[in-house]
C-alpha cells in the first residue's frame, strides 16, 4: 500500500512527540532505578529541620536560586576552583545561601543506595518539597529526571536574573516572566517568605526610607538593624513576624497591614496589579497552597537537562 508524503510527515511527528515526552521529567523516573530515593531524602531533611527549622527555608531558597540561573541543574552547588568560577560567590548567594553541607549529606546517603543514579539537581528539588511539607505546607509529587550541569553562570547569577530585595513590581514581574512564570506565579512563589529569615543588609533601606511600611513595625526592625551601612549587616529578622517557622498564608496578611520585611515583599501589595492576588491568598490559604504548588512544579520544569545532557555528579560540588 502506498503512503502519501503527508502520512510520513504525520508519523515523523508522532515519533518526535513520543521521543520528546519520554525524555521529560516524571514523578516515576526513579521507580525502578532508585525506589527509596524519596524516603531517604525526606528522613535526612526531617532530622535536619528538627534540629534547626530555619534550614527548611534555606533548602527552599536554594532551589529558587538554582532554578533561576539556566534552569534547575544543580549549578549553584559547584565550588570554585583555580580554573572554574561557580555561582556561590555571586551577590545573591554569597554568605547568604545555605544548606550546601546538608545537600552533601543527602547525596552521600543516596549514593550509598543507588550509586550514580540520582542527580544533585533532583535532590535539591526534592528537598524543597520536603522542607515545605515538614514545616506545615502542602504536598506535591516532585517531577524528577533532571541531570546535573557541567557549567555554571556566575555572570547571570550576579546580574539581576535572581531578583534582589530592592526590586519594584515591574522588575519582579519581568524577571519571573523570563523564567516562564506569570505574575500570579510570582506572587504565589513569594509566599515562600512565610518561612525563613533575612539579613539587615537586605531590608535596611525598606525600614528606614520607604513610606509603604507600618511605622511601629519599622521601629521594631530598626532596633536590630542600625541605619549605618556596615553595622549589623548580618543581623537577622524573620520574614514573617507571626509564624516564622510554619508554612502558611500569614505572609500575605502581613502585606495587607504593611508589615512586609523586604521592599520586594511590600510592593506586591502597594496599589498595583498584584494587590487582588495578595488579598485572595490572605483570605484563602487553600488557594495559596494550590497556586504555590502549581508554580513550584512549573519552575522546576523550566529548561531541565535531560536524556544525555549534563551528567550525574558523584559529588555535588564538582564535575565527575
Q: How does pLDDT run across 194-219, given as a tens digit for each residue?
A: 999 999 999 999 999 999 999 999 99
Q: Where in the chain is the domain with CATH 1.10.420.10?
A: 169-298
Split at pLDDT 50, 70, 90, the class of 2 is low
Residue of 76, 83, 222, 78 whose CA lies nearest to 158: 76
Query: Does the pLDDT of residue 139 top 80, yes or no?
Result: yes
Q: Which three cell numbers stand for residue 86?
A: 561557580
Q: How does pLDDT run across 254-276, given as a tens digit for each residue?
A: 999 999 999 999 999 999 999 99
What distances in angstroms separate CA 246 from CA 80, 105, 120, 135, 302, one per listed residue?
Answer: 34, 24, 26, 5, 27
Mean pLDDT across the chain:
93
Q: Give the CA count within 13 Å in the CB-facing half-sphere of 101.
A: 3
The dotted CATH code for 37-163 is 1.10.520.10
Give percent above pLDDT 70 in the chain.
Answer: 93
Q: How does pLDDT run across 8-35, given as a tens digit for each residue?
A: 444 444 444 433 333 589 999 999 999 9
Q: Cα dihedral angle (220, 172, 96, 316), rounded to 10 degrees?
A: 150
Q: Where in the chain is the domain with CATH 1.10.520.10?
A: 37-163
Residue 122 CB-density burial (10 A; 0-12 exposed, 13-18 middle, 19+ buried): buried
Contact indicator for 235, 200 with CB cutoff of 8 Å: yes
Residue numbers annotated as active site = 65
Q: How does pLDDT run across 230-241, given as a tens digit for each residue?
A: 999 999 999 999
Q: What is the pLDDT of residue 4?
A: 53
Q: What is the pLDDT of residue 61?
A: 98
Q: How does pLDDT run across 101-122, given as a tens digit for each residue?
A: 999 999 999 999 999 999 999 9
Euclidean distance between CA atoms 4 and 173, whole angstroms? 48
Q: Residue 226, Cβ neighbours under 10 Å: how many?
A: 15
Name the β-bridge partners of 84. 81
Which CATH architecture does the domain made up of 169-298 adopt?
Orthogonal Bundle (1.10)
Split at pLDDT 50, 70, 90, the class of 83 is very high
Q: How does pLDDT run across 35-49, given as a tens digit for each residue?
A: 999 999 999 999 999
Q: How does pLDDT run across 41-75, given as a tens digit for each residue?
A: 999 999 999 999 999 999 999 999 999 999 999 99
Q: What is the pLDDT of residue 11?
A: 45
Q: What is the pLDDT of residue 218?
A: 98
DSSP state of 138: -
Q: Residue 262, Cβ neighbours under 10 Å: how many?
A: 21
Query: Does the pLDDT of residue 160 top 60, yes or no?
Result: yes
Q: Which three cell numbers stand for residue 270?
A: 502597594
Amino acid at each position: 500500500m502506498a503512503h502519501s508524503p503527508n502520512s510520513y510527515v504525520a508519523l515523523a511527528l508522532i515519533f518526535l512527540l513520543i521521543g520528546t515526552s519520554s525524555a521529560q521529567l516524571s514523578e516515576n523516573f526513579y521507580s525502578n532505578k532508585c525506589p527509596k530515593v524519596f524516603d531517604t531524602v525526606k528522613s535526612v531533611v526531617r532530622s535536619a529541620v528538627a534540629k534547626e527549622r530555619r534550614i527548611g527555608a534555606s533548602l527552599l531558597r536554594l532551589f529558587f536560586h538554582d532554578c533561576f540561573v539556566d534552569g534547575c541543574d544543580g549549578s549553584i552547588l559547584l565550588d570554585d576552583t583555580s580554573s572554574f568560577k561557580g555561582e556561590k560567590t555571586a551577590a545573591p548567594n554569597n554568605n547568604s545561601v545555605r544548606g550546601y553541607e546538608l545537600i552533601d549529606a543527602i547525596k552521600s546517603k543516596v549514593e550509598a543506595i543507588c550509586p550514580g543514579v540520582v542527580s544533585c539537581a533532583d535532590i535539591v528539588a526534592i528537598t524543597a518539597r520536603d522542607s515545605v511539607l515538614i514545616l506545615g505546607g502542602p504536598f506535591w509529587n516532585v517531577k524528577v529526571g533532571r541531570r546535573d550541569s557541567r557549567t555554571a553562570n556566575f555572570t547571570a547569577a550576579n546580574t539581576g536574573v535572581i531578583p534582589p530585595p530592592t526590586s519594584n513590581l515591574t522588575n519582579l514581574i519581568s524577571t519571573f516572566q523570563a523564567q516562564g512564570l506569570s505574575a500570579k506565579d510570582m506572587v504565589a512563589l513569594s509566599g515562600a517568605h512565610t518561612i525563613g529569615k533575612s539579613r539587615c543588609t537586605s531590608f535596611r533601606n525598606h525600614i528606614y526610607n520607604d513610606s509603604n511600611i507600618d511605622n511601629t513595625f519599622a521601629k521594631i526592625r530598626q532596633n536590630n538593624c542600625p541605619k549605618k551601612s556596615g553595622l549589623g549587616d548580618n543581623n537577622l529578622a524573620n520574614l514573617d513576624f507571626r509564624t516564622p517557622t510554619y508554612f502558611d498564608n500569614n505572609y500575605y496578611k502581613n502585606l495587607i497591614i504593611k508589615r512586609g520585611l523586604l521592599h520586594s515583599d511590600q510592593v506586591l501589595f502597594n496599589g498595583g496589579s498584584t494587590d487582588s492576588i495578595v488579598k485572595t491568598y490572605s483570605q484563602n490559604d487553600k488557594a495559596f497552597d494550590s497556586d504555590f504548588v502549581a508554580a513550584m512544579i512549573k519552575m522546576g520544569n523550566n529548561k531541565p537537562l535531560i536524556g544525555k545532557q549534563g551528567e550525574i555528579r558523584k559529588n555535588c560540588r564538582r564535575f565527575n
